[in-house]
Structure 1
Amino acid sequence: MILTVTPNPALDLTWHVESLTPGATHRVPIGATRAGGKGLNVARVLHATGHDVLALATAGGDTGDEFRAELEASGVQHRLVATAAATRRSVAIVDDASGEATVLNELGAPLAPAEATALAETAVQLGGAARAVALCGSLPPGFGPDELGGLVDRLVGAGVPVVVDTSGPGILAAARSGAHALKPNREELAAATGLADPVDGARALVTLGARLVVVSLGADGLVVVGAGGAPVGARLPRPLHGNATGAGDAAVAAIASALATGHDLWSPADAAAHARAELARRATAWSASAVLMPLAGELAPDHTALADEVVITTIDEERR
């Protein structure tokens, strides 16, 4: 089983418009409402690709009731920690003409100390039986970098592979606690490390204690940097247009599935280098195929064929 943990989930509301004009009134088809947040999107991708997955999140208030009902209908196995405050909402407006999405994320209410403790203890309990754990998304007040780092430390100490996808100080806390993998995007990595070059930034996180860093680069694909061996780049040779809001989550799903195999992904050994290249291929293909789907948490049916198109390169650091 793979466990996903979402400390700050959201009820996702998505509308598609033919062309978005700021300041104008738009008539649109009925929108979609889904239980969302990065960890939920990761869980949906894993579920769709045949993995045994359990999604852990919080839920509260009227929006939490909608969140729970939709999640139950989705077929994704889940455990929800009750909160006094209502689950936040996230609004995505997808411009079908440009393929760009405008997203408004509510910040989310603070977790009370007892709620934060319940979330962490449940994650440790369920994570102990998991083949991998994915900790995903923003951190609400009451469950900040210290709490995240403490959770990573406990899971890693129990021998559970952990991948973390968050931003800001949380990335640094997860690295210092020895997370097996981190998945920032280019902007998040630069903000956390102060380094503009993705390989340099990833190396900084490895120096702090992370074993593997996968940096998503948008249309430029991604780069995989491990504690051993040369960095690996991966990209599609052609651009894809669509809704990119779930692309990073699909990449995290690929990382979690790779960690769950128990294979070495970080040493200088040839087998580890091959495993990193295959991870880069799958993460790129899954991320790209997610762009083609209208909602986050879904993969296009041709994601296997896309993997055959992915171009893998070994980055020569002396020539960068």
Structure 2
Amino acid sequence: MILTVTLNAALDVTYQVPVLRLGHSHRATAADVRAGGKGINVARVLHALGHETMVTGLVGGDTGAAIRVDVLAAGLREALFDMAGPSRRTVTVVSGGTATAVNEPGPPVSISDWADFVGGYHALAARASVVVLSGSLPPNLPDDAYAQLIRATTTPTILDTSGPPLLAGLAARPSVVKPNVHELTEVTGLDDPVSSARVLLDRGAGAVVASLGPDGLIAVSDTGSWRVRVPEELHGNPTGAGDACVAALAAGHALDWPDRLAEAVATSAAAVPCPLAGDIDPDTYARLRPAITVEELDAHADR
């Protein structure tokens, strides 16, 4: 079972508009509402790939109740914990293949709600083959909240967050961290993604897999470094591509790195044609997977 942790779950509202113009009114051509937050999106992709999953995290209020209902309607098993404040909402406007998001910060989490979650997490993590910890932290939680959970986990962990929680999480030695190129630059101050990844490796990550958007990804570990490119230009909604990448990394934790990375890029690319984060297009995956090649980078470059 793969456990996904979403501490700042959300009710995601996605609007499709032909053209987005700042300061103008728009009429959406489509509107969708579903449970979200990065860990829930990861679980959706894992479920579509045929893997057993469990969703955990914090939810509260009427928004939290709607999240629970939608998670179950999607066929996902959940062990979500109640908190006092109402869960957040996000709004994403997709136009011409570009997604514009407005994310609420989420409710403050009380000490008692966090203690209840941590106590329950121990039992859930003990049953998991891999634990995925994704997304932002809600207010009031310390920057090392993910680090606390990683230290309590004996199975492989994948951490997908940014900023101070990412830096704090490195001290707990996660198996894999999965920032995007902008998040890498933010925490290291370096423009080169390979050099930035090696900084995170030196600070405790077992491996660093960094999304480069339409340019694929790079990965750096103690055993090697690789670059994987997307074999064709894709159009659609890129919002869920990073979460699909994380799902493939979790599903392929027993594969060697080149195969694992090729799966991650193909699965990530298969999310782009889909209107909603958490979905993948099987035809896109089947078309692209055979065309993906993994390039090994010079292990001593930038040292």
TM over 0.5: yes
Report the AA paired with residue 127 of structure 1.
Answer: A
* 1:219 and 2:214 correspond: yes
The aligned amino acid for 2:177 is L
Are 2:257 and 1:276 equivalent residues in the alignment? Answer: yes
Q: Superposed, which structure 2 residues align to 1:1-320 within 5 Å?
A: 1-95=1-95, 98-155=96-153, 159-229=154-224, 231-259=225-253, 261=254, 275-302=256-283, 303-317=285-299
Q: Residues 79, 319 of structure 1: CA spacing in aligned structure 2 closer, same or farther, 3 A cutoff? A: closer
* Consecutive unaligned residues in structure 1, runs of 5 or more: 264-274
- Cα offset, 1:285, TM superposition: 0.6
Backbone CA RMSD of aligned residues:
1.3
Does the 8 Å CA contact 1:58/1:83 hold for their aligned counterparts?
yes
Report the 3-state secondary structure (helix = DSSP H, G, I; strand = E; otherwise coil) of the residue aligned with 1:287. Answer: helix
- Equivalent-residue separation in structure 2 for 1:286 and 1:121 (angstroms): 33
Instruction: State the one-letter code of the partner of 1:53.
Output: T
1:170 is paired with a residue whose SS is helix
Task: Give the secondary-structure state (helix, strand or coil) at the position aligned to 1:89.
Answer: strand
CA distance in 2, matches of 1:131, 1:305: 29
Deviation of residue 26 (structure 1)?
Answer: 1.6
Q: AA paired with 2:242?
A: G
The runs of 4+ residues in structure 1 deviating greater than 6 Å are none
Look up the equivalent residue of 1:148 and give its one-letter code. Answer: Y
Amino acid at match of 1:250: A
How far the C-alpha of 1:318 sits from its partner, in A, is 5.0
Whole-Å Cα distance in 2 between the matches of residues 118 and 307 of structure 1?
42
CA apart distance, 1:72: 1.6
Alpha-carbon distance between aligned partners in 2 of 1:8 and 1:116, rounded to the nearest angstrom: 12
Take 1:79 and 1:237, find their aligned partners in 2: how far apart are those partners?
38
For 1:101 and 1:131, the matched residues in 2 are separated by: 33
119-128 or 1-10, which deviates more = 119-128
Give yes or no for contact 1:2–1:52 (8 Å, CA) kept in 2: yes
Assess, with a 3 A threshold, how the Cα gap between structure 1 residues 152 and 319 changes in structure 2: closer, same or farther.
closer
Which residue of 2 is the match for residue 269 of structure 1?
none
Confirm or deny: 8 A CA contact 1:116 1:142 kept in the other structure.
no
State the 1:169 CA deviation: 1.5
Aligned mates of 2:263, 2:286 — CA distance in 1: 8
Amino acid aligned to 2:31: G
Q: SS of the residue aligned with 2:282?
A: coil
Q: 1:42: Cα distance to partner?
A: 0.1
Between the aligned residues of both structures, percent identity stands at 43
* Partners of 1:221 and 1:235 within 8 A in 2: yes
Q: Deviations over 1:18-59 (max 9, x none)?
A: 111222222224511101000000000000100000010211
Is residue 213–residue 226 contact of structure 1 (8 Å, CA) maintained in 2?
yes
Q: Specify the code of the residue in structure 2 equivalent to 1:199.
A: V
| TM-score of the aligned structures, taking structure 1 as reference length | 0.91
Shift of 1:17: 0.8
Distance 1:195 1:122 in 2: 38
SS in 1 for 2:262: helix
C-alpha contact 1:93 1:101 (8 A) present in aligned 2: yes
Name the aligned partner's letter for residue 234 of structure 2.
L
Distance change in 2, residues 1:319/1:165 (3 Å):
closer
Question: Quick check: 1:57–1:80 contact (8 Å CA) kept in 2?
Answer: yes
Aligned partners of 2:196, 2:186: CA distance in 1, in Å? Answer: 10
